[in-house]
């Protein structure tokens, strides 16, 4: 095997940081663990990238792919169908809340978000409201990297190189209660305020110009912000009041990550569109989906109606076959139930880290957690750019990995360590995470 840096252009990677050292090369996975080319074992504390929900080494998923590829490797969904796509669409529709019955397949999450924005625009043109085209999303939220999805994304650092972006992206506050600018003593009042900020943004822009609100059930970037109680119920009211579509971006939050098939079910709200990908196949083959209500498809069922959008590999026969086998595993092993049964233990184990001076807050739900790191527990003071650079990039990411834990140390927002293990993980893995984090975070504190 050649050197990874010779020809491979890695994603979101400082290529210069590998001038001296070797690129970590992962060659095998089994259960909640992966192994590198040197034979070292790591706990996969991020399920790859919030993806490998059923765990590594599931030969039945590989077998499903091989069987399908030998029968029908590829055929497009452009005016034609194939059995695995038909069956998977039916299976997904049976799991979604309400009348989210129309499944538009993509290859991944950014494409699903792109499709949702295009559908929102096209829908309103067809129902006589052609000026509704803008989208509201939250500050620091990540919704993907294609130009439309990037315009919905609220992270200035990953947008500046690519501006100007698609016009019409409007940003509102996120639900980071730990750093609440208002109502820092009352989580419900804070949630109401954050939701009402969406109404104020729609008013400022003009309701006749706003098509959709894109929200993750638990916001990922910034470090796992769960919704305050009542937040989504109020957002739903606002969307109904202004005739704006509520898009639940569940690229991460679906497929058991929060203990339900969909995050919207976990928090009890009804979206107009769900975007999803990642865990749908547990990563064994790429697949995403934009799931819409019957109402949104209605205008496209007219005689000459066409949603003029598609991608070559959307709903790929092999990926759909893998997704069906993956959902069989979910049903047979009750993986969503496993998460619900173990989430309190996961939380309690991570909360042991609260005795460390560097740990400001442990937050999340299901198997999806962020640990916010601070310079001062009392004042909640965070690190400056130079300290973040030394702490996260210079030390933490590498030290955690060398100690046997693959996770994410991130400062999109405030410095945070993120954990989202495969859904098969249990107490043994929780303890392992806590022990490695304790040792490495204690050392990080000494280095400050």
The two counts, helices (H) then strands (E), for the chain are: 15, 15
What is the bridge-based pairing of β-strands 41-44 and 33-36?
Answer: antiparallel
Find the mean pLDDT for residues 144-152. 95
More confident position, 23 or 240: 240
Q: Residues 213, 137: contact at Cβ < 8 Å?
A: yes
Contacts of 82-90 spanning 24+ positions with Cβ under 8 A? 82/317, 82/320, 84/317, 84/320, 84/321, 84/324, 85/315, 85/317, 85/320, 87/320, 87/324, 88/315, 88/320, 88/323, 88/324
H/E stretch holding 361:
strand 359-365
> What percent of the chain is modeled with pLDDT above 90?
88
User: How many Cα atoms within 13 Å fall on the side-chain side of residue 258?
Assistant: 26
Pair 91, 105: CB distance under 8 Å:
no
pLDDT of amino acid 18:
83
Strand partners, 73: none
**pLDDT of res. 393:** 78
H or E stretch at 155: none
Count CB atoms within 10 A of the CB of residue 334.
Answer: 13
Which residues are within 8 A (CB) of 236 and not within 5 positions of it... i.e. 6 or more apart? Answer: 246, 269, 270
Averaged over 252-279, what is the pLDDT? 98
pLDDT at 1: 67
Is residue 353 left, alpha or beta, with left meaning phi > 0 and alpha meaning psi from -120 to 50?
Answer: alpha
Cα–Cα distances (Å) from 346 to 40, 54, 226, 293, 426, in that order, read 25, 17, 16, 35, 8
Per the prediction, the chain carries an average pLDDT of 96
d(CA 447, CA 439): 13
Banded pLDDT at 319 (limits 50, 70, 90): very high
Residue 47 three-state SS: helix
**Each residue's pLDDT tens digit, 191-235:** 999 999 999 999 999 999 999 999 999 999 999 999 999 999 999
Contact between residue 362 and residue 371 where contact means Cβ atoms under 8 Å apart: yes
User: Does residue 22 register a pLDDT over 90?
Assistant: no
10/243: higher pLDDT: 243
Rounded Cα–Cα distance for residues 52 and 73 (Å):
23
Nearest CA-CA partner of 4 in 21, 12, 35? 21
* Global pTM value: 0.97
pLDDT band at 5 (very low <50, low <70, confident <90, very high): confident
């Amino acid at each position: 095997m050649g050197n990874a840096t010779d020809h491979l252009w890695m994603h979101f990677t400082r290529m210069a940081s590998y001038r001296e050292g070797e690129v970590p090369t992962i060659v095998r996975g089994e259960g909640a663990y992966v192994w590198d080319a040197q034979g070292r074992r790591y706990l996969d504390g991020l399920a790859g990238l919030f993806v490998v929900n059923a765990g590594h080494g599931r030969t039945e998923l590989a077998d499903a792919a091989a069987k399908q590829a030998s029968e029908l490797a590829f055929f497009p969904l452009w005016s034609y169908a194939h059995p695995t796509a038909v069956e998977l669409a039916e299976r997904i529709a049976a799991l979604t809340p309400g009348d989210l019955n129309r499944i538009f397949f993509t290859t991944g999450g950014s494409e699903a978000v792109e499709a949702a924005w295009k559908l929102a625009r096209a829908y309103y043109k067809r129902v006589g409201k052609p000026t509704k085209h803008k989208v509201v999303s939250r500050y620091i939220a990540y919704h993907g990297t294609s130009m439309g999805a990037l315009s919905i994304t609220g992270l200035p650092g990953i947008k500046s190189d690519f501006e100007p972006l698609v016009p019409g992206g409007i940003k509102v506050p996120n639900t980071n209660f730990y750093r609440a600018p208002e109502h820092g003593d009352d989580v419900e009042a804070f949630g109401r305020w954050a939701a009402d900020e969406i109404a104020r943004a729609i008013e400022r822009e003009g309701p006749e110009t706003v098509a959709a609100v894109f929200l993750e059930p638990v916001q990922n970037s910034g470090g796992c912000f769960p919704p305050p109680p009542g937040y989504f119920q109020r957002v739903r009211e606002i969307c109904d009041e202004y005739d704006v579509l509520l898009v639940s971006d569940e690229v991460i939050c679906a497929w058991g990550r929060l203990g339900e098939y969909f995050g919207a079910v976990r928090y009890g709200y009804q979206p107009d569109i769900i975007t999803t990908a990642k865990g749908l196949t547990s990563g064994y083959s790429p697949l995403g989906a934009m799931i819409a209500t019957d109402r949104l498809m209605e205008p496209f069922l007219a005689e000459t109606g066409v949603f003029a959008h598609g991608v070559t590999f959307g709903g790929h026969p092999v990926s759909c076959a893998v997704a069906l086998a993956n959902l069989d595993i979910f049903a047979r092993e009750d993986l969503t139930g496993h998460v619900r049964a173990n989430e309190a233990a996961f939380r309690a184990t991570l909360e042991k880290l609260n005795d460390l001076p560097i740990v400001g807050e442990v937050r999340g739900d299901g198997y999806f957690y962020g640990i916010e790191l601070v310079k001062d527990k009392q004042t909640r003071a965070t690190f400056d750019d130079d300290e973040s650079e030394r702490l996260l990039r210079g030390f933490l990411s590498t030290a955690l990995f060398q100690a046997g834990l693959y996770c994410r140390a991130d400062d999109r927002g405030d410095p945070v360590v993120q954990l989202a293990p495969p859904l098969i993980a249990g107490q043994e893995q929780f303890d392992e995470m806590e022990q490695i984090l304790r040792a490495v975070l204690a050392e990080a504190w000494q280095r400050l």
